[in-house]
């Protein structure tokens, strides 16, 4: 896939940009942001194709986030991180 980045192939580079195989972003943070945007648009277009615009808008208007579930998940992940940290250090915590 390195040939996507070579300036001698402008047509292939343009095609790669259009199809999402390459990005114009330089830094890793920008590449990650651009990839997330590509994924968001893909998922939105897929949802529109499956549900249709009116039903999708209705679901978005009526959506209620479940923060209790998210909080429980974060607590569980923190416990797991602490558990694995204690295992790696043999149960000793430096003061």
Q: And the tokens for 36?
A: 């997330």
- More confidently predicted of 57 and 3: 57
pLDDT at 1: 47
Q: Give domain status of residue 13, yes or no.
A: no
pLDDT at 44: 93
Contacts of 21 (CB under 8 A, 6+ apart): 1, 4
The pLDDT tens digits for 23-69 are: 565 566 677 778 888 889 999 999 999 999 999 999 999 988 889 98
Q: Do residue 73 and residue 53 come from a single domain?
A: no
Question: Could you give the number of structural domains in the chain?
Answer: 2
What pLDDT sits at residue 17? Answer: 63
12, with CB counted inside 10 A (0-12, 13-18, 19+), is: middle
Query: Of 77, 76, 73, nearest to 65 (Cα)?
Result: 73
Q: Decide: helix, strand or coil at residue 73.
A: helix
Domain extent at residue 80: 66-95
């Amino acid at each position: 896939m390195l040939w996507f980045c070579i300036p001698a192939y402008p047509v292939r580079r343009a095609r790669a940009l259009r199809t999402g195989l390459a990005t114009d972003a330089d830094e890793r943070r920008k590449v990650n942001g651009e990839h997330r945007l590509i994924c968001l648009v893909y998922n939105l277009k897929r949802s529109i194709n499956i549900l249709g615009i009116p039903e999708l808008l209705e679901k978005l208007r009526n959506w209620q986030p479940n923060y209790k579930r998210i909080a429980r998940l974060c607590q569980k992940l923190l416990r797991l991180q602490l558990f694995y940290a204690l295992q790696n250090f043999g149960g000793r915590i430096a003061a």
